[in-house]
Amino acid sequence: MIDFYQEVYRLTRLLVEQPSIVGTVDEKNMAQLLHKTLQENPYFQENPNHLHLQPTIQDDRERYNVLALVKGRNPDNKGTILLLAHMDTVGVEDYGKWKRFAFSPDQLRSQWLESSAIPENVKDDILKDDWLGGRGILDMKCGIAVQIALINYFSAHRDQLDGNIMLVVTCDEENDHRGILSALKEIKRLAGKEQIHYIGAVNTDYISPRFLNDPSRYIYLGTVGKLLPTFFVVGKETHAGQLFEGFDPNLILSELTGRLNYNPDFCDVMDGEITLPPVSLKQTDLKKRYDVQTPQTAFAYFNFFVHSWSPKDVLERLKDVTTDAFAAAIEKYEQRYRHFCEVAQLPYQSQQIQPRVYTYHEFYQKCVEQYEGEFEESILRYSINLLNEEKLDVREYSLKMVEELWRWGGDGEPAIILFYSSPYIPRIVVDESEKKSKHLIEAVKRAVEKLQPQCEEPIQIRKFYPYLSDMSFVAISDTEFDIQHFEQNMPAWGRKYHYDVESIRELDVPVVNIGPYGKDAHKQWERVELNYSMQIVPNLVVQVMRELFASYQSKS
């Protein structure tokens, strides 16, 4: 094995000490630190055109990606492996009184060990010399450090590099993935300029135990996809003193949440691997202020992971369950109204509410049929003018578009419009029947066989990386029809949100995640295990690279 430990350890500490919270100026500062660090490498001093600080595209703030190309010993070898990482982190509010130590691993460790509030399992880890904590140390400063160490090693030992490697470190992974979506154009441009061909990608995002006392370390071929199905619920407003003359949209949402939240019936199973079930990320009515009127509208969105289901599959399933929840809410309302009338000795008359559920595209077409060109011109103008409200994120923008749609086509009676309100994060299936994917699968298997004797813990290969990552944007497993269906049901598509489908299809490389091991990413106890992460992981990546280059050369 190559001794990477000290180099990865040094770089990890350097990167953790530079904050890079997503959506702050520190993202820009981190990109500049990475660029400066790589500039110190003699290879990039001799080849400055191989190092790039790329501004993001169609972004509302100044931030950058960093790309670095190292060419191997044979200039005729065009095969190139992408090394993927992201530089941004989540915030530090969860650290509470330790917030000021979040980027100082040694001080944070001291504070934790002096505290009686630290959980025993965290304390057990931190007492060992093989663990270190800090914001972003696991997700994913250690992963970046691994990739830079690989760049440094192979730029100094090009005689050992049988192809080319390109480091791509992106911003905004923790939010809307503007970094990787911008990087796609640069990756494509450099392929043409440098006459290289991408044969695979290695991501080094974090891995964690899958269950309590799980001894394994995991490598993931492919990744989970994520959708954000969103529900715009229209009820019927009334005075609270006349409540049975209205219909509360929150009642519908409560029935819907009961059917979706944590429900394994909505887990997507493929090749023996199962996604996590849906979970609510936001629910609210849309009243602006307090009064004694019941709300007219409400909305909610749910996290939805997929392995095999397309955006169309998900909407069809959700339309069915939404109709069922709507009907259940109506039945509950009528039962309680009837019971109230019996107790109050009043005449009962059914409200005759119907459970109407539309997709965004269906309701849009309904408006087109009703108003024709007048509606289309107006909604287009509204969508463009809405971009001037810069503080709106893509979810808020989408909601306002649906509200405008309802103003055109709504009739004052309860209904639900189902749509997508967040970026499309595709699933990637690394399929052995596809030639490039088969090469990567075989390379990973051989690498694990060679490195397993050096690792005390079992290394297992699984199909789907279970967390969201930029891996999703280097290939697409969904069809053009699937993507078109998503586009038709995402109000922000082409305006507030841009997605370069063609660039992804052109890139189309199989991807594997070989990442540092740790616990509690996105939590105040975030920590990384050092030996596996800083010694085994980089050597696994090296071996996968060697196997993949050998496979590419022998079969190309």
Task: Find out whether 426 and 250 touch, Cβ atoms under 8 Å.
Answer: no
> Which residue range is the domain that position 364 belongs to?
229-420
Residue type, 252: I
pLDDT in tens, 132-150: 999 999 999 999 999 999 9
Tens of pLDDT, residues 484-523: 999 999 999 999 988 888 899 999 999 999 999 999 999 9
Q: Report yes or no on 414 lying in a domain.
A: yes
Ramachandran assignment for 434, one of left (phi > 0), alpha (psi -120 to 50 degrees), beta (any other)? beta
pTM higher than the cut 0.85: yes
Domain match, 253 and 155 both = no
Query: Are residues 416 and 433 both part of a single domain?
Result: no
* Tens digits of residue pLDDT in 32-73: 999 999 999 999 999 999 999 999 998 989 999 999 999 999
What is the signed CA dihedral for 529, 176, 491, 304, rounded to 10 degrees?
A: 0
Region 283-287: what's the mean pLDDT?
96
Helix (H) or strand (E) holding 190, with range, is: helix 178-194
Contact 530, 150 (CB under 8 A): no
Regarding whether 431 and 406 lie in a shared domain, the answer is no
With tokens 């899958």, the residue in question is 210
User: Both 213 and 303 in a single domain?
Assistant: no
The pLDDT score that the predictor gives to residue 500 is: 85
Instruction: Indicate whether 49 and 76 sit together in one domain.
Output: yes
Res. 162: pLDDT tops 80: yes
Indicate the helix (H) or strand (E) that contains 203: strand 197-203
pLDDT tens for each residue of 521-538 = 999 999 999 999 999 999
Whether 498 maps to a domain, the answer reads no
In the DSSP assignment, the letter for residue 22 is: T
Does residue 75 carry a pLDDT above 90? no
Q: Label residue 553 by pLDDT band (50, 70, 90).
A: confident
Helices (H), 419-497: 435-451, 480-488
Q: Is residue 556 pLDDT above 80, yes or no?
A: no
Q: How many domains does the chain have?
A: 2
Query: Residue range 251-266: average pLDDT?
Result: 98
pLDDT, averaged across the chain: 96
* pLDDT (average), residues 437-452: 98
Structure tokens at 553: 């050369």
- Cα–Cα separations (whole angstroms), residue 272 to 266, 269, 303, 313: 15, 6, 21, 19
Residue among 361, 237, 253, 251 nearest 292 (CA): 237
Task: Judge whether 497 lies within some domain.
Answer: no
Joined tokens for residue 153: 């090693």
Pair (388, 463) in one structural domain: no
Q: Is the CB of residue 63 less than 8 Å from the CB of residue 171?
A: yes
Q: How far apart are CA 272 and CA 95, in angstroms?
A: 37
- Tell whether 252 and 214 lie within a shared domain: no
What is the distance in angstroms between the CA of the first residue and the CA of the last residue of the chain? 28
Which CATH number is 186's domain given?
3.40.630.10
Same domain, 411 and 270: yes
Do 39 and 60 lie in a common domain? yes
